[in-house]
Amino acid sequence: MKQISTFGSAGYQPGDLQLLRDAGDDAAVARLLAPCPIMRLNAGQAVAESNQARLYIVLRGALAVETDTSTGMTDGTVSKVLPGESVGEQSVLDEEANLASITALEDSDILVIEAHLVWQLIDESNVLARNLLRLLSFRIRAANAQLRRRQKVGEFYRQMSMNDALTGLYNRAWLNDVLPRLTTTAHSTGAPLALIMIDLDHFKRFNDSHGHLAGDQALRAAAQVLSGALRPTDFAVRYGGEEMMVLLPDTSGPMAVAVAERLCERMQQAQVFADMRLPLPHITASFGVATLEARQNEQDLIASADAALYRAKELGRNQVAQQAAGS
């Protein structure tokens, strides 16, 4: 970047700059701007970093501005600054060095105004102060709108990360986040909490006989059985592979067993192949039911339900078993 002239000698007027628009023929403002250097940037050239707060105004060409470079962790947001527009206002107001990365998109001429001179201009012309407030207000609104968009996108992806892509049920990440809170709430309020562990019977045999695409469809059908038979306050989770789980807040042991029996019956009636109308007797499920006991944590609850599930399998599968008394 090299100086090619000054503002006064180049024939520009204060009104050519957005921050001084409507200033008219303010002689005092023109006098203060006259010695300010105009620097030439070639396309792709960056403004050299400086420890001084400065205001940069584009007179010709265009700049690309990427913020937050001080941490080395930018968010990829790049603003385009066109003739008459400026960058560096915040650094002047904060009296801090400009931390934005500024690069010429094309051959550009840049007016450089030191911070102390900006404050003199504010003293000389309330037009600059008014325009500066308008500019900062616009940028705050734009930044807030962008932040809201990012929050919505972030929440969208967070929700996606909490759901199993195949079945649409919640996944292990969700379970690890929510189940500890459910157990803590149950212990503190004295409300019951039940958990049903579910395993599709002989699922490997089903995959070997019908193929993995049919197996995926069977998992989706089983997930639909669970999500279609639960209350809005209940939760269905894909625990892993062909294992699923149902969380039942405010549900006693007998009520949870009744829910599991209803799910077991509906699982037998679910259809994997809609075109062939084949039911699911060969892909039934076994159910293990447990309720949270005093001094149990979430891992203890899962272990109790898992033990009940294995009991259901030992008894012949396609049925419901409850945790042993005192377990």
Task: Using alpha carbons, select from 52, 180, 46 the residue that is nearest to residue 117.
Answer: 52
Residues 110 and 8 in one domain: yes
Domain-located, residue 327: no
Tell me the DSSP string of 128-171.
Answer: HHHHHHHHHHHHHHHHHHHHHHHHHHHHHHHHHHTB-TTT-SB-
Q: Is residue 159 part of a domain?
A: no
CATH number for 290:
3.30.70.270
Count of domains for the chain: 2
CATH of the domain at 14: 2.60.120.10
**Whole-angstrom Cα distance, residue 300 to residue 290?**
10
105 located within any domain: yes
- Do 145 and 57 belong together in one domain? yes
Cα 177 → chain centroid:
16
Q: Which residue of the set 49, 85, 106, 242 is catalytic? A: 242
136 and 178, same domain (yes or no):
no
Residues 199 and 309 in one domain: yes
Per-residue pLDDT of the chain (327 residues; tens, 9 = 90+): 788 899 888 888 887 888 888 765 578 888 888 999 999 999 999 887 777 888 899 999 999 988 654 444 445 567 888 888 888 888 888 877 766 788 999 999 999 999 888 888 888 778 788 888 888 787 778 778 777 877 776 666 666 678 998 999 999 999 999 999 999 999 999 999 999 999 999 999 888 888 888 899 999 999 999 999 999 999 999 999 999 999 999 999 999 999 999 999 999 888 777 665 555 556 799 999 999 999 999 999 999 999 999 999 999 999 999 987 655
Domain co-membership, 239 together with 142: no
- How far is the C-alpha of 275 from the C-alpha of 254, rounded, in Å? 38
Tokens of 182: 């459910």
Is 45 within the bounds of a domain? yes
**Rounded Cα distance, 47 and 54, in Å:** 11
Give yes or no: residues 314 and 191 share one domain.
yes
Range of the domain at 310: 172-322
DSSP SS3 for 224: helix
Q: Which of 282, 307, 303 is nearest to 292 (CA)?
A: 303
Q: Is 242 in the active site?
A: yes
Q: What's the whole-model pTM score? A: 0.57
Q: Exposed, middle or buried, 120 (CB in 10 Å: 0-12/13-18/19+)?
A: middle
CA distance 252 to 292: 9
Q: Is residue 56 part of a domain?
A: yes
Instruction: Tell me the angle at which helices 212-229 and 203-210 cross, rounded to the nearest 10 degrees.
Output: 130
Q: What is the pLDDT of residue 74?
A: 47
Residue pair 256/287 in contact (Cβ under 8 Å)? The answer is no
